[in-house]
Structures are given as structure tokens and as C-alpha cells.
Amino acid sequence: MSDAATNVAQRLESYRSLFDLSGKTALVLGGPSGIGKTSAEALRALGAMVICADWNREVVEATADDLQAEAHVVDAGNADDIRSLAAQIAAAHPRLHVAVTTPAVHVRKLMLDYTDEEYDRVADLNLRGTFYFLRAFGRMMGDHGGGSLIASSSVRATTLEPGLATYGATKAGIIQMVRGLASEVGRHGVRVNAIVPSIVDTPLIEPLKARPKIFEALAAHTVFNRWSQSSEVAAAVAFLASDAASYVTGTALLVDGGWTAIDGPPTGLTATHRE
């Protein structure tokens, strides 16, 4: 093989290695279910040593066993719990390379009908909890000279319907926190990004499948006319976690099936194709 061909082969292999997470430690808060679970699986599949954290001890320990991972019981909306988690990880591991947070709660209700308690419940977990997470692990990664922080937003940060105002506001706030923190910790080699999914087929939406007209109407908001699989969102998480995204920060990465690219469901018009 010529020197030129050898150089090309080495460059090609280097692209593959960019996605390799071997030797890296990754935390997934919300790891036992939905996008969190498939994200933990994706990171593990790419070689990372995974730490799963969640409030449900039984479920998080079962998930950790399946992935040969470490388990922690944590209330994502509690500042002391997040500080304690960060301290435990710092004591047990020389470095944390990736940290992903996915927990969220939604009370679908008209804004004028929201109670103070319902507002607090949504804002405390979605927005305040994400702040606690980004603060704790952004600080840790800054001290270590690098890392990738990934938060979970939603297309509801920009597109709404009645009953989604409070939830959407928290998801918009997450994007702004990601952008702000990215501007502050970039000089320390830390990247901060958000994933922005639309509709994801997880066990949580099983009751919606019993209402096929609504289920299908939501699917029609995407260009693919289907719900996403959580593994498709997890693949975006894995990309942001990897060195393949080494120049990506302050980004809200849409994984929405074109939801925000079109205005309403398809019209049924036939496209004209040209050879």
C-alpha cells in the first residue's frame, strides 16, 4: 500500500474512532426509562462505563444490572441530592466525561387553571432540576478540563397548543440555560447541548394509543407520519457525547421528524420529482 493510501486509510479509521466512548464515564439521570434508558444503552454500546441515576431504586438498579452499570437513587429536583451524586461520582471516578439529564414532568392544563402547586411541580423538576444538574456537573467537568453535558428539551419550547404553556416555558428555558452555560464553560473544554425531540413512542404513551385518532394526528405533524423510537433520540445523545461532536456546543439539536419544519399535517399533494 502506498503512503498516500495508508494516510487515507488512517483518516477513514479516525472517523470511526470519533464515536468510540471506550474508557469514558457517562452519567444518565433518568436512566431507567424512555429516552434515558435508551441513551444509557447507546452510551454503553459505544464503550462507556455508565452510571444510571433515578428516584426509583428498584427500576434504576435493574437497569444498571442489565448494563453492568453503577446505580444511584436521586431526586432530580432536589439540590442536595444532585450535590451528593456529584460528590459520590467525584470520589469513585477519576473523571466524568459525559452527563445526560432527561427527567421531566408535564401537567396538561390551561394556564389560567394552573394551581401554584402544579406550576411548582413542573418548574421545579424540569427547569430547576436541570439547573442543578448543569451547575453541579458543569463545575466538575470544568475542573477536569472538559466533558459533554446534554439536557433534554422539546419542540414544545417553540411550538405550542392549549394546555402546554407552562411545560413549553420550562423547555424553552432549558435551551437558554444550555446556550448560556456553553458560553461560560467553553474555555474549559466543556460542551453543553440539548436534544429537542418531538413525539417519542415510549411506555408512557400507551394510554394515548388507545385513542388512535389523536395518536395518528400527532404522527401527521411529522414529515414521516410516525412517532419516533426512543433509540432514534438516543443516537443523537450518543453523537453529542462523542468526539464526533467536538465542535458542537450551545446547540439545540432537533430530533423531531420535521415537526418544526412544516406548518401542520401533510396536505396530500403529490410532489413532482425530476430526474
Whether 7 is in a domain gets the answer: no
Whether 273 is in a domain gets the answer: no
Higher-confidence residue of 266 and 206: namely: 206
Which among 164, 77, 182, 70 is positioned nearest to 126, based on CA atoms? 77
Compute the distance between CA of residue 153 and CA of residue 155 in angstroms, rounded to an integer.
Answer: 7
Whether 206 is in a domain gets the answer: yes
Whether 64 is in a domain gets the answer: yes
- Share of residues in the chain with pLDDT > 90 (%): 80
Question: Is residue 225 helix, strand or coil?
Answer: coil
Q: What confidence category does residue 180 fall into, taking pLDDT thresholds of 50, 70 and 90? A: very high
67-108 pLDDT, tens digit each? 999 999 999 999 999 999 999 999 999 999 999 999 999 899
Q: Is the pLDDT of residue 274 over 50?
A: no
20: cell is: 468510540
Give CA angle at 254 (189, 44), nearest 5°.
60
Q: What is the CATH number of the domain that holds 184?
A: 3.40.50.720
pLDDT given for residue 9 in this prediction: 72
State the total domains in the chain: 1
167 classed as catalytic: yes
Residues of the domain holding 238: 18-256
Helix axes 129-144, 165-185, angle to 10 degrees: 10
Amino acid letter at 44?
R
Compute the distance between CA of residue 3 and CA of residue 73 in angstroms, rounded to an integer.
Answer: 54
Whether 10 is in a domain gets the answer: no
Whether 9 is in a domain gets the answer: no
For residues 222 and 179, is the Cβ–Cβ distance under 8 A?
no
pLDDT given for residue 5 in this prediction: 63
Whether 6 is in a domain gets the answer: no
Pick the catalytic residue: 15, 114, 167, 247? 167
pLDDT given for residue 36 in this prediction: 94
Higher-confidence residue of 20 and 1: namely: 20
Which among 233, 144, 257, 253 is positioned nearest to 192, based on CA atoms? 253
Q: Give kind and range of the element (H or E) at residue 151.
A: strand 147-152
Whether 120 is in a domain gets the answer: yes
Q: What confidence category does residue 210 fall into, taking pLDDT thresholds of 50, 70 and 90? A: confident
DSSP code of residue 227: P
Q: What is the mean pLDDT of the chain?
A: 92
pLDDT given for residue 267 in this prediction: 57
- Share of residues in the chain with pLDDT > 70 (%): 93
Which among 68, 71, 79 is positioned nearest to 54, based on CA atoms? 71
SS3 content of the chain, % helix, strand, coil (to 5): 55, 15, 30
pLDDT given for residue 266 in this prediction: 58
Q: What confidence category does residue 1 fall into, taking pLDDT thresholds of 50, 70 and 90? A: low
